[in-house]
Amino acid sequence: MDLTKLTITQAKQGLKNKEFSATELTEVFLAQIEKREKDMHAYLTVTDDLALAQAEKIDEKIAAGEEIGDLAGIPCAIKDIILLEGIKCTAGSKILENYIAPYDATVIQKLKKAGAIFLGKTNMDEFAMGSSTENSAFGPTRNPRDLQRVPGGSSGGSAAAVAAEECVFSLGSDTGGSIRQPASFCGVVGLKPTYGAVSRYGLMAMASSLDQIGPFAKNVADCKKVFDVIKGKDLKDSTSADFPQTTNYKLQTTNLKIGLPKEYFSQGIDPEVEKLVKQAIKKLADAGAEVKEINLPHTEYALACYYIIMPSEVSANLARYDGIKYGTSAISDKRFATSDLLDVYLKTRGHYFGAEPRRRIMLGTYTLSAGYYDAYYLKAQKVRTKVLQDFQKAFEQVDVILTPTSPTPAFKIGEKVDDPIKMYLSDIYTVPINLAGVPALSLSCGKIGNLPVGLQIIGKHFSEDLIFQVAGMCEELLRRP
């Protein structure tokens, strides 16, 4: 039996039946990491000692006949922007190269309580800024489906680790598509929950009104299991919400209404991507679902709106990394012999931040500055309201909206790195969802050669259960010839 191929359900059953121990399962994944990381670079830190100590405790519980939770003994990986106490947390940046997390994020506390085992911290675009994981200060992650291509970003390491069977599930964060786009490129399942459904306490902030933590997994059922553990209100995060009690209502394809936004199937999409997504939708229609074309008219402004709001929040959130309050300081670097305070700020931020964070900080500072605030930031917030209203209007007619996750499959490493605009367009189908705060899931609906293509399922606020049911139907239908 190849233990690296197990789903959460299969691993849990194997542990309960004592077919293998949590320690054996963990050792297999640590060996897999050692074997594959030479090519992949999905991990920034591997926490062998922590993982084996956690596994030993789970084995003791099983031996004592204690009941264990769904995630007990299940090896996972965590994006290196989420705090895991006592472990380095770099956010993919040189400015935090030696920062040790002083406490656990709420999602980590919940996973610890559920008995999950932490294999390590995964690579990412610096401070979650990017669509390819090429912006990591510690080098790019490679896509396990094709090592010459990117895994997507910014949570590329987390998606690649699941796809390469270097963990059973992982956590990422999604500000404009950073879970769904890597899930699409790597051929795994990734959920961006409703804004506020999962606590952001212990997540280093990029853009506070857009960021959300979510899971990557091998299949829809596993993704739901992880989400059920990490969701819920947290007193330490005032933006988190009580997740509504869900019903056991079982959806049938015959009473499912699907919306296809015509704005998502237009110029710019790879014809092969469009073909595979439409084939998946046709399978749902053949099974009895009603499919209708809808309009999301403000979609065309979403990317421009996002690239005003997000950098504005970035400029505020990253102000703390100045070498005095947080971060590596130019004072301690012999190359920058200076004691002038302003000089410390300038040299610290100029040297230890990468090109993309500097670009976004400057954009955001400009749009928030006197004389430009009304023309840019305020106007973008008004457009954001229009984007949300488009979704609200659409959900009066349909249950879910189906779209491609990304307009193309994974592109080659280096292909877009020198053209920020081209890179930003990778998120054109995912950004509106973050602006509206609604949930969306990406699952693989086919391949172009060996490159996966993602189908995005969007629902109204707090409709994750419905999304999981529709995704489960898609998964089942796509398995059939």
What residues act catalytically?
79, 154, 178
- Distance separating alpha carbons of residues 312 and 321, to the nearest angstrom: 16
- Distance separating alpha carbons of residues 260 and 159, to the nearest angstrom: 27
453 membership: H or E segment, kind and range: strand 451-458
Is 396 buried (19+), middle (13-18) or exposed (0-12) by CB count in 10 A?
Answer: exposed
DSSP, collapsed to helix, strand or coil, labels residue 341 as helix
- Distance separating alpha carbons of residues 138 and 44, to the nearest angstrom: 8
232: left (phi over 0), alpha (psi -120 to 50) or beta: left
Is 425 buried (19+), middle (13-18) or exposed (0-12) by CB count in 10 A?
Answer: middle
Residues 372-380: contacts with CB within 8 Å, 24+ apart?
376/308, 377/308, 377/309, 377/312, 379/308, 380/304, 380/305, 380/308, 380/309
Q: How many CA atoms lie less than 13 Å away from 448 in the CB half-sphere?
A: 17
115: left (phi over 0), alpha (psi -120 to 50) or beta: left
Per DSSP (E only), the strands in 117-256 are 117-122, 169-173, 189-192, 213-217
Q: Which residues are paired to 79 by β-bridges?
A: 122
59 membership: H or E segment, kind and range: helix 48-63
- Distance separating alpha carbons of residues 281 and 52, to the nearest angstrom: 44
**Residue type at 189 in one-letter notation:** V
Q: Which residues are paired to 441 by β-bridges?
A: 191, 457
Q: Are 349 and 363 in contact (CB under 8 A)?
A: no
* Helix intervals (H) in 143-219: 156-163, 180-186
- Distance separating alpha carbons of residues 117 and 167, to the nearest angstrom: 10
Q: Are 62 and 12 in contact (CB under 8 A)?
A: no
Radius of gyration of the chain, Cα coordinates, nearest whole angstrom: 22
